Amino acid sequence: MKTSHRVSLVDAGLRVRVYAFLGLVASALVACIAPSRERDDAMRFPAYPMCPGDPVDGETLGEGSLRAGPVMREESARESFRIVRRGCQFVFTGSQDWSLGATDLEVVYDEALNPLRAWKRSTSPGPLEAARRTDIRAYDFSTDHVLLRRRSSLGGFESWRFRAPTPHVVIGPGRGLLSMWLRRAHLPVGGRVREAVLDIRETVEIVRDVTLIRLEDRDDAEMGQVRVYTIYGREPIFADENNILVGDMMGMRPARLITTPVPPGINREGDVNPRGTP
């Protein structure tokens, strides 16, 4: 019994040393992983990109209005967006609302549909005044590395520089913005493309490689003939013949198909102002 007890203690001591060693290795690995961006409050954030003459209005190329369908768990989700040709640029504007927040979005593209600038305003629900519930961020794609200017809900400003080279695709909240990647990629059925993407959906943005795949077209009972794509290999989305988003597998559908009352939105901080904020 004593020998058995002694052996168990030795084994336990060995396990402790092994776990401690593995912990040190894990800590070293984490320390070697550089964050996706670095603080640079001394940077001069570039001016808003404009075409000669700076046309205010433009030609509408596509628009959409989506709402949660009957099979979607988050019944309050809705989204509207618009794609406009404005002189030498294409401009996407969109807004999303659901019970836990609201987002307003603008992305400016050049004539090859490469992003030049993105702007995102996120608003949380709550009793505080709108400014205290609002986070505004602008992203510039004009240099070798994406630049970020942020105004937090507390009123302070931050500037960041991403470490990865500037990508040619940006993914944001909602589904509508994916229309710009679909139109740029112009994939045939069965086609795929893998590109570096700036994903600004989360609190901490990240640049990573993402694969876009076009599957077989689908004859949907509600939406008719649609094109089917996947991103990240797990998010089927539906688009019309002009590659404008019309829904997804999660349950978003064209708003015209939803007959229930539109849920109230979250109060925002004034009008949308991508040129003047942050």
pTM: 0.85
Measure the CA dihedral 108/57/255/197, to 10°.
-10
| pLDDT the model gives residue 56 | 67
The pLDDT of residue 234 is 85
Q: Where are the domains of the chain?
A: 59-257
CA gap 50, 66 in Å, rounded: 30
Measured distance CA(274)–CA(93) in Å, rounded? 10
Q: Which two tokens stand for residue 269?
A: 């901080």
Q: Give the DSSP H or E segment for 26.
A: helix 2-32
Q: What is the pLDDT of residue 230?
A: 97
Per-residue pLDDT of the chain (278 residues; tens, 9 = 90+): 444 444 333 343 434 343 334 343 333 333 345 578 999 999 999 999 998 876 667 899 999 999 999 889 889 999 999 999 999 999 999 999 999 999 999 999 999 999 999 999 999 999 999 999 999 999 999 999 999 999 988 889 999 999 999 999 999 999 999 999 999 999 999 999 999 999 999 889 999 999 999 999 999 998 999 999 999 888 899 999 999 999 999 999 999 999 999 998 899 999 999 999 89
Instruction: Supply the DSSP symbol for 172.
Output: -
Rounded-to-integer distance, Cα 66 and Cα 251, Å: 10
Q: What is the pLDDT of residue 34?
A: 59
H or E, element range at 148: strand 145-151
Amino acid 117: pLDDT: 98
| Residue 146 burial (C-beta neighbours within 10 Å; 0-12, 13-18, 19+) | buried
